[in-house]
Amino acid sequence: MNRPLYTQVDEEDSEAQISSRNNIFNKSFVTDLWMRVITKAIEDVALYSLMRQKGKILKEEEIENEESAISFLFNEDHRIPLSDYLVDVYCHKCKETWTTLISKITGQDSICQNCNETIHKKYIEYTITENQEMKEISLAELISLWGIENIKAFRIGAKQRIENIIKEKLNKLEKEN
């Protein structure tokens, strides 16, 4: 199973931001990358739960993978490493620039700090400055960057998806036998 490392996201995120500094598609790429990790974590929990139900003894590495995925999805205290860059944001309305963290503008509309006008996310132009800070955020904070405010609903949905994957795989195995 090709399982992305959660820390790998930060490296790919950094590369994407540096390689296309003013590219709006870059922000979609970062969200897609984290969505792949979330999906993989859900699949990991489902796979290892299914293996247990079938009576298979998990190897130490598999147990660590499962614990990591469960912690990532469901543990309120779990922190996710994330690069945050200072960016100069350009307002196309008042033609002024201000500096903020990229996490504050990624995937959402922004308010110009000079003219207080709303800038739609597809019109946000920014340039990454040389400064970078590493921080750790929760999954709730990460998905709120995408405009998803209800982490409880997200976790219920993740749990339901895990249960559905297990049912689908069990049904498939029963049909094969």
CA distance linking residue 174 with residue 177, whole number of Å? 5
Q: What is the pLDDT of residue 22?
A: 45
CA distance linking residue 67 with residue 125, whole number of Å? 39
- In percent, the amount of the chain with pLDDT more than 70 equals 64
Cβ-contact 73, 158 below 8 angstroms: yes
Could you read off the pLDDT of 94-148 as tens digits, one per residue? 888 878 776 666 555 678 878 888 877 666 666 666 555 667 788 888 787 666 7
Pick the most confident of 31-35, 60-64, 139-143.
Answer: 60-64
CB atoms within 10 A of CB 167: 12
Could you read off the pLDDT of 12-32 as tens digits, one per residue? 666 655 554 444 445 556 667
Strand order in the sheet with 80-90: 97-101, 80-90, 125-137
| DSSP category for residue 90 | E
Q: Please compute the mean of the pLDDT values over residues 23-51 and round it to a whole number.
A: 76
| pTM, two decimal places | 0.61
Q: Please compute the mean of the pLDDT values over residues 58-78 and round it to a whole number.
A: 87
Cβ-contact 59, 65 below 8 angstroms: no
Q: What is the pLDDT of residue 125?
A: 67
CA distance linking residue 18 with residue 79, whole number of Å? 24
- In percent, the amount of the chain with pLDDT more than 90 equals 8
Instruction: Kindly report the average pLDDT of the chain as a whole number.
Output: 76
User: What are the C-alpha distances in Å from 36 to residues 8, 29, 39, 63, 81?
Assistant: 12, 11, 5, 21, 16
Q: What is the pLDDT of residue 7?
A: 61
Cβ-contact 104, 111 below 8 angstroms: no
Q: What is the pLDDT of residue 131?
A: 57
